[in-house]
């Protein structure tokens, strides 16, 4: 009976001092930390991706931007031709528009 208690006591103490059990616990803890860190990073990535998608959703496609630029340049060309046909100097209008833009900034 006494030897059984001693054996049980020795087994418990050896388990407490066993470095492999301690290492397993540490490994499990590190694994949990890494999983949590990975989940956090994944969540941040998804949030960032959603922000980018929202920003791009409101932005026109490239072909739409090219069409808008082409239309603007065409309108500018027609406007300048009309001014030139009327005998108005386009540099004067450019100077006036810059002056108005500068006054709006202040």
- How sure is the predictor about 22, in pLDDT bands with cuts at 50, 70 and 90? low
**pLDDT tens digits for range 64-79:** 999 999 999 999 899 8
pTM: 0.43
The pLDDT of 39-66, averaged and rounded, is: 92
Provide CB contacts within 8 A for 80, sequence distance 6+: 90
The pLDDT of 11-22, averaged and rounded, is: 68
pLDDT value, residue 86: 84
């Amino acid at each position: 009976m006494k030897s059984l208690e001693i054996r049980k006591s020795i087994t418990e103490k050896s388990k407490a001092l066993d470095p492999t059990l301690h290492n397993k616990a540490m490994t499990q803890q590190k694994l949990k930390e890494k999983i949590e860190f990975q989940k956090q990073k994944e969540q941040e990535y998804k949030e960032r991706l959603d922000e980018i998608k929202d920003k791009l959703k409101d932005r026109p496609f490239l072909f739409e931007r090219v069409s808008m630029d082409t239309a603007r340049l065409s309108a500018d060309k027609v406007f300048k031709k009309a001014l030139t046909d009327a005998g108005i100097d386009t540099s004067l209008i450019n100077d006036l528009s810059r002056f108005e833009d500068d006054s709006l900034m202040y």
